[in-house]
A and B are shown apart, each in its own frame.
Chain A
Amino acid sequence: MIGVISYLVFFTTVAAILGIAVLGLNLQWGNTGLFNGGVVASFGAGAYGTLILGGAPQESQLGGFELFYPLALLGGMAAAGILAWAVGRLTLRLRHDYLAIATFGVAVAFENVMRNATTITGGAQGIRGFERPFRQMLGDGFTYNLVFLIAVLVILCAVYIFLERLTVSPFGRLLRAIREDETAARSLGKSPDRVRLISFVTGSVIIGLAGGLYGTFYAFVSPQDVLPILTFQIWAMLIVGGAGNAKGALAGAFLIWGAWTFSGWALSRFAPVEAQLYTGSIQFVLIGMVIVGMLLWRPQGLFPERLIVSQPGRSREKTQAEGFT
């Protein structure tokens, strides 16, 4: 039984970390309509930034500043923010698929820089042996994972509340106005470029926060952690959960990551012995089918966007709309 709890703690931690990243993407795509195809660049910047600033010194490698952990994490978020600002300045004038292609390119470039800049990032070997913060106090076992999970959940709640407040604020309305009709927003005296940049950077900082937590939890990051598959996974979570709805984003993160890991476990356990070797491939097919099925039968996601969120005098439940515009 303790094994099951220990595993669930582990699973929830990873799912919650991915959930934070999905919330960041939801701000960008769900609320502002920015098609960010380079989620993994922000995620990686956060992870690498945190580990370089907070890690122990290593031979022939930059970093190992051993900063106080929260500072290192903030540093990682700042790294993600700065990268997003630079990328945003260059690419945010692009629309939809063009923006996706440009940001995807940035993410691939990011991975290649991490892979080749051996003296800064450890190259393909990655940054290893990062001391997990507060390990002296908590040991290395179950207690540590439990405390870490609680910390991640607190951060997740904070991000969630922040984004929910943001969505119902006038700024949130402005984001949606720009998403729906940029020209109309401009005619009302708003500055879409500036607002899009703010949204993009904020979302990226949140994704970077997720990356920093991820690197901390695994005590390791390497270029294999920042492959495009991660961008795909986070997008799948948002689409299945429901773009534009923070609750949906979270549900999507837990569901998709749950499906990803549970299908692997179930197949390894219950598939006939001859099929064991092919369970990896079967798993890909199953996950693909879940996503395709979602897109076919419920394209708005499990939790569709609430179109009217800040009208005074009416409860939120009553105004929940089913449609997807």
Chain B
Amino acid sequence: MRTLLTIAAFAAGVSALGTGAHAQDCTTKIGATLPTSVDWGRPIAEVAQFAVDQVNEAGGAAGCQIEMVLRDTQVDPKVGVDAAKALVDLEGVNVLLGAVSSGVSMPILTSVTVPGGVMQMSCCSSSTAFTKLSEEGKTNGLWFRTFATTAVQSAMAAKVAADKGYKKIAVLYKNDDWGQDMARLIAADFAAAGIEVTSSVAINDAQPSYRAEVTEAIGGQPEALYLALYPNEGTSAVREWLSLGGTQDMILANSLKSDEFRDNVGLQYLGNALGTDTASPRVASADAFKAAYVEKFGSEPNGPGLANSFDAAMLALLAMEAAGKDASGADIAAAVAKVTDPNGTPITADVAGFTAAKETLAGGGTVKYQGATGDVRFDANGDVSAPAVVWKFTDSGTEEVEYLSLGDVDAFIASLKK
């Protein structure tokens, strides 16, 4: 109790100090609800803050410096929704970044941002439920995500498998909304490409051993293994898989594009592993992001959702700039089209790019944002499609094996649907 009172007294004191200082310079707040208490969530928040810093270096958005108020969701829907509500009501934000888990993003969307008319842009929620909700017209156009829907990932996996000539594949997937979506889509895509799925096994988080699951997967004698897992479970499952004599021919979802996974499994076992991802387009801005990230954080951006989080923050701020001063959440959401216009002036995702965008937008033009995940283009449901890349692990990180432009990806997806 005393702790609480101390905090309360401290809070009251500091807020009294704070109001005086804030009055002179103009600061616009944006909110972020991200799982910073989780190991993989913290870098996602760091990179969003990094984007905000760059925008501030370019003079801020809509005439003001930007302050990102970050709240932890603890991957708990109650906590996340409360944090979002506090950001909207107490901090008065019109733009909310987050959350990561679809199970947290969804209640925030239905009970906070849509009723409150706040634009929500998630870096990483992948559930197909959002697309359905949007099709029913229940998001009021306020919802966006820079994480390409699982459809692109799964189609690319089918392409890799077809190119490699695998005929029988086992699937291990993370037992959450993303994993279940992946498993369903991959089964359909493999079938369309004439590949047999010998078994599709769910992997629950934090089990001490996955021997039973792996044994089941290996039982169908597959030629290759498809993994839609996160690094922790992925490491354990792959170790068991290899120790039981499973094949080293693997296809990995982008969630496993992590140094941790590579180091813990061992690079020597991952020689035949090919990953898919929706990032790293052949534009200068992606390289610029990579270079800037390495300079800032001292390692390559190898973690789930980093490029997506950066783009989410950048796009939200560009849209704020395009919507002008004192715009409402709906205005900002409507302005997203102005900064992702395929016919607009191309801009890069850094200080110079943001400055250039400001000039173009001030002159009434539109811009085409070329970000860390490439040319971002939202469809009517706030979903993105993206160019895809096939990658493999190397000593220093990952290396591109094959690059597919947005057109190639769309063409391949169309060919699967025939």
Which A residues contact B (CB, under 8 angstroms)? Answer: 3-4, 6-7, 10-11, 14, 59, 112, 115-116, 118, 122-126, 128-129, 140-141, 144, 217-220, 222-225, 227, 229-230, 255, 259-266, 268-270, 276-281, 283-284, 286, 289-290, 293-294, 302
When the two chains form the complex, which single residue of B76, B81, B177 contacts A123, counting CB atoms closer than 8 Å?
B177
A7 touches B86 (CB 8 A): yes
Judge whether B86 and A265 touch: CB under 8 Å.
yes
Are B106 and A126 in contact, with the CB atoms below 8 A? Answer: yes
Contacts A3-B89, A279-B72; is A224 near B37 (CB within 8 Å)? no
Min distance, Cβ B132 to any Cβ of chain A, angstroms: 8
Task: Decide: B72 and A264 in contact? CB cutoff 8 A.
Answer: yes
Are the C-beta atoms of B86 and A277 separated by less than 8 Å?
A: no
A283 to B83 CA separation, bound complex (whole angstroms):
13
A284 & B37 in contact (Cβ 8 Å cutoff):
yes
Report the separation of the CA atoms of residues A276 and B133 in the bound assembly, to the nearest whole angstrom.
Answer: 33
| Size of interface on B: residues with Cβ below 8 Å to A | 65
Q: A10-B82, A223-B103, A270-B10 are in contact. Are A286 and B3 (CB under 8 A)?
A: yes
A122–B116 CA distance with the chains assembled, in angstroms: 27
The answer to whether B3 and A289 have CB atoms under 8 Å apart is: yes
Q: Taking the complex as formed, is B221 at the interface, i.e. its CB lies under 8 A from any CB of chain A?
A: no
Q: Chain A contacts of B77 at CB under 8 A?
A: 218, 220, 222, 224-225
- For B49, list chain A residues within 8 Å (CB): 276
Q: A6-B89, A269-B69 are in contact. List 19 more A-B contacts (CB 8 A).
A: A11-B85, A123-B177, A123-B180, A124-B175, A124-B179, A125-B129, A128-B106, A222-B77, A222-B103, A223-B103, A224-B77, A224-B101, A264-B79, A269-B14, A270-B10, A270-B11, A277-B45, A279-B70, A283-B37
A residues in contact with B136, CB < 8 Å: 129
The reply to whether A115 and B86 form a contact with Cβ atoms under 8 Å apart is no
Q: Which residues of B contact A293 (CB under 8 A)?
A: 1-3
Contact B37 A281 (CB under 8 A): yes
List B contacts of A122 (CB < 8 A). 129
A32 to B106, CA, bound (A): 38
Stretch binding the partner chain, chosen from B107-115, B188-196, B250-258, B357-365: B107-115
Shortest Cβ distance from A116 into chain B, in angstroms? 7
Chain A residues in 8 Å Cβ range of B104: 224
A98 and B289 alpha carbons, distance in the complex (Å):
55
Per the 8 Å Cβ criterion, residues 98-130 of B in contact with A are 101-104, 106-107, 110-111, 114-116, 127-129
B103 touches A124 (CB 8 A): yes
CB contacts (< 8 Å) of B83 on chain A: these are: 261, 264-265, 268
Q: Give the interface of B toward A (CB within 8 A).
A: 1-4, 7-8, 10-11, 14-15, 35-38, 41-42, 45-46, 49, 69-72, 74-79, 81-83, 85-86, 88-90, 92, 101-104, 106-107, 110-111, 114-116, 127-129, 132-133, 136, 138, 175-181, 202, 204
Contact A266 B7 (CB under 8 A): yes
> Known contacts being A126-B106, A280-B36, is A222 close to B177, with CB within 8 Å?
yes
Chain B residue nearest to A278 (CB atoms) is: B36
- Nearest Cβ on chain A to B53's Cβ, whole angstroms: 10
The interface residues of chain A lying within 8 Å CB-to-CB of B111 are 217-220
Chain A residues positioned under 8 Å from B38 (CB to CB): 280
Contact (A277, B106) CB under 8 Å given A229-B76, A268-B69:
no
CA distance A16 to B33 in the complex (A): 24
Residues of B within 8 A of A302 (CB): 1
CB pair A116–B45 under 8 Å, yes or no, is no
Residues of B within 8 A of A116 (CB): 175, 202
B177 touches A259 (CB 8 A): no
Alpha-carbon gap, A228 to B92, bound state (A): 33
Closest Cβ neighbor of B177 among chain A residues:
A124
Nearest residue in A to B82 (C-beta to C-beta)?
A261
A266 touches B11 (CB 8 A): yes
Query: Is there contact, CB below 8 Å, between A129 and B36?
Result: no
Q: Which of B49, B71, B76, B178 has the most CB of A within 10 A?
A: B71
- Decide if A7 touches B90 in the complex (CB within 8 Å): yes
* B37 partner, pick from A126, A230, A280, beta carbons under 8 A: A280
Q: Please indicate the chain B residues that have their CB under 8 angstroms from the CB of A290 in the complex.
A: 1, 3-4
Interchain CB contact under 8 A, B133 and A128: yes
Q: Choose one: A10, A270, A276; the contact of B70 (CB below 8 Å).
A: A276
Q: Which residues of A contact B1 (CB under 8 A)?
A: 290, 293-294, 302
Residues of A near B128 (CB, < 8 A) are 125
Q: In this complex, what residue of B is CB-closest to A56?
A: B136
Given known A-B contacts A7-B89, A265-B90, A266-B11, A259 and B76 have beta carbons under 8 A apart: no
